[in-house]
Amino acid sequence: MEGLVHSRFNPVHATRIHYHSRLIPAFSILFSKNFTKTPVLFMKGHRSFNSVVTSVQPLEASGLGHFDNTLPSKDILQLWRSADAVCFDVDSTVCLDEGIDELAEFCGAGKAVAEWTARAMGGSVPFEEALAARLSLFKPSLLQVQEFLETRPPKISPGINELVKNLKAKNTNVYLISGGFRQMINPVASILGIPPENIFANQLLFGSSGEFVGFDVNEPTSRSGGKATAVQKIRKVSPIAFHLMLFSDNTCKADYLVNQVHGYKALVMIGDGATDLEARKPGGADLFICYAGVQLREAVAVGADWLVFNFADLINSLE
């Protein structure tokens, strides 16, 4: 185990062009300076997935120790109700499991990878180190990832679908920010009705034969502090303004938008891990809500503005 920890592979820097396959809806081929004449594939599309209806119930606050932040103050409630953007972590928050642990278990390396995940989410090891070490333990192939997605639909946390619907009804934009992989998060976003442009996550990379070659380090969520960076990017320019700038044929209009649009006035981050807590930095989230309905990480719970064990609390507090 110790030897494997230090035998890391090099993450990949890549650019993209499109490639299509009959087996998988869409890919992109990526070429890297680190791999001479070796095409690198990543999955872009996904099939329709139905979420698993699970009987797992959220953890309850009773018996788990004393926390003084389970009842929100008036100011925190006001921030929550006035938020025009809410960002969710995915693993152990939107979903009931840790995606990389599930994929590793599917590939036969579940226990070793789960131990690293616990360390990464607790903040005891830099995220990028833990991500590289975990992937090096099982190196999932493209075929394994596709088989995993086809046989194991997302396990959605109780209440998250209703919460997202209620937020949308209030014209609140919803984002998914995850240290997990887009290949596994796209189906979750589809179930919740969250557009692809509102996803910040990592990307697995594969060689021309479908072999695992690394992950895209250009994604901000591939390193420690990445979720804070993602939130800061979201705050700077809202999606509508971004697309207006992107497709505007009027240079003056685009420049005006860049200078005048400052994004969201109130942004909330919801998650269970240390990387989620990091998002509450200057220029980042105004409010961090720790969701402990799946995993209670005490250091994160103590540092949160508001600790909840059930999404129903957030739904009821919107009214």
**Domain extent listing, the chain:** 74-97+155-203+216-317
Helix (H) or strand (E) holding 215: strand 212-215
Question: Which two structure tokens, joined as six digits, stand for 157?
Answer: 């946390």
Q: What is the dihedral of CA 176, 179, 183, 188, to 10 degrees?
A: -30
For residue 89, indicate whether it is catalytic: yes
Tens digits of residue pLDDT in 205-227? 999 999 999 999 999 999 989 99
Report the percent of the chain where pLDDT is more than 90.
62
Higher-pLDDT residue of 260, 66: 66
Helices (H), the chain: 2-6, 74-82, 99-106, 110-122, 127-138, 142-151, 160-169, 182-192, 226-236, 239-247, 251-260, 274-277, 298-303, 311-317
The correct answer on CATH 3.40.50.1000 for the domain covering 74-97+155-203+216-317 is yes
Catalytic residue among 75, 84, 91, 249: 91
- Please give the Cα distance from 85 to 269 (Å, whole number): 9
Instruction: Give the chain's length.
Output: 319
Per-residue confidence at 65, pLDDT binned at 50, 70, 90?
A: low
pLDDT at 266: 96
Q: Which pLDDT value is given to residue 256?
A: 38
pLDDT value at position 123? Answer: 72
- Rounded Cα gap, residues 283 and 261, in angstroms: 15
Please give the average per-residue pLDDT across 57-76, as a whole number: 75
Q: What is the DSSP letter of 25?
A: S
319 band by pLDDT with thresholds 50, 70 and 90: confident
Buried b (16+ CB within 10 A) or exposed e, 62-71: eeeeebebbe
Name 249's Cβ contacts closer than 8 Å, sequence gap at least 6.
none
d(CA 196, CA 200): 9
User: How would residue 75 be classed by pLDDT, with cut points 50, 70 and 90?
Assistant: very high
What's the confidence (pLDDT) of residue 169?
97
Please give the Cα distance from 269 to 228 (Å, whole number): 10
What is the CA 223 to chain-centroid distance, rounded?
12
Could you give the CA distance from residue 266 to residue 191 in angstroms, rounded to a whole number?
Answer: 25
What torsion do the CA atoms of 226, 230, 236, 242 make, to the nearest 10 degrees?
Answer: 140
Q: Which of 68, 89, 216, 272 is catalytic?
A: 89
pLDDT of 3 reads 33
203: confidence class by pLDDT, cuts 50, 70, 90: very high
Which residue has better confidence, 285 or 29? Answer: 285
Q: What is the mean pLDDT of the chain?
A: 80
Work out the average pLDDT over 41-58.
48
Distance between CA 59 and CA 273 in Å, rounded?
16
| Cα 226 to chain centroid, rounded | 10
Interatomic CA distance for residues 215 and 202, integer angstroms: 7
Residue found by looking up tokens 């994929």 in the block = 103
C-alpha distances (whole Å) from 114 to each of 43, 117, 121, 220 are 24, 5, 11, 23
pTM attached to this predicted model: 0.76
Using CA atoms, how far apart are residues 295 and 93, in angstroms rounded to an integer?
A: 8
- Average of per-residue pLDDT across 110-131: 83
Does the pLDDT value for residue 2 go beyond 50?
no
At 236 the pLDDT is 84
Q: Reply yes or no on whether the pLDDT at 141 is more than 50.
A: yes
Residue recorded with tokens 């018996």 = 63
Q: Are 273 and 263 in contact (CB under 8 A)?
A: no
- Parallel/antiparallel/unpaired status of strands 173-181 and 85-88: parallel
In terms of pLDDT, which residue wins out, 33 or 277?
277
Residue 121 has pLDDT above 90, yes or no: no
- Is 299's pLDDT higher than 80? yes
> From CA 13, how far away is CA 223, in angstroms rounded?
14
- Predicted pLDDT at 102: 95
